[in-house]
Amino acid sequence: MECSFDSIGFELTKNNFKKENIEKTLKELCEDFDVCIVKIDASNFTTTIKDKIRPEEEEQHLKADQKDLNKYFGQIFGVDDKDKEEMILKINKISIMKSTMEKLLDKQMENEYNQKKYQSKIDEIFQAHQL
């Protein structure tokens, strides 16, 4: 009986895609993920995130992006000033919403009571609806 590398590769691949193997691998990956999540130190995680967020720099970048966007729309699409103003208002609303969420998340991390209180505020703001 002759055996080629192609047929060996096919058989190995075929075996790897059996339902049991996929379920086993998924279960192992989920367990590994759960262990990683449990090991996360919430205060250290929050500090790390805060260290990477620099609101002043983000505001400067946002303003520069808005300016570039206005030039782009004006030159390429011929967008009028009213449309530009509407877009700027939407971008500003998103920016305000982002900073509000950051404040709520910071307050939420202070203690257990705050976690429930501010989570309900967050849930009110971002209500989930079925598609």
Q: Are 70 and 84 in contact (CB under 8 A)?
A: yes
pLDDT tens for 31-57 read 888 887 777 777 777 777 777 777 788
Residues 25 and 65 in one domain: no
How high is the pLDDT of residue 8?
A: 43
Which range of 70-79, 86-95, 100-109 scores highest in mean pLDDT? It is 86-95
Residues 58 and 90 in one domain: yes
Counting the structural domains of the chain, the total is 2
What average pLDDT does the segment 98-118 reach? 76
What average pLDDT does the segment 68-78 reach? 76
The three-point CA angle 102-86-103 to 5° equals 10
How high is the pLDDT of residue 119?
A: 77
- Give the chain's mean pLDDT: 74
Residues 16 and 64 in one domain: no
Over pLDDT 70: what percentage of the chain? 79
Q: Is residue 48 part of a domain?
A: no
How high is the pLDDT of residue 128?
A: 63
Q: Is residue 44 part of a domain?
A: no
For residue 26, the enclosing domain spans 1-39
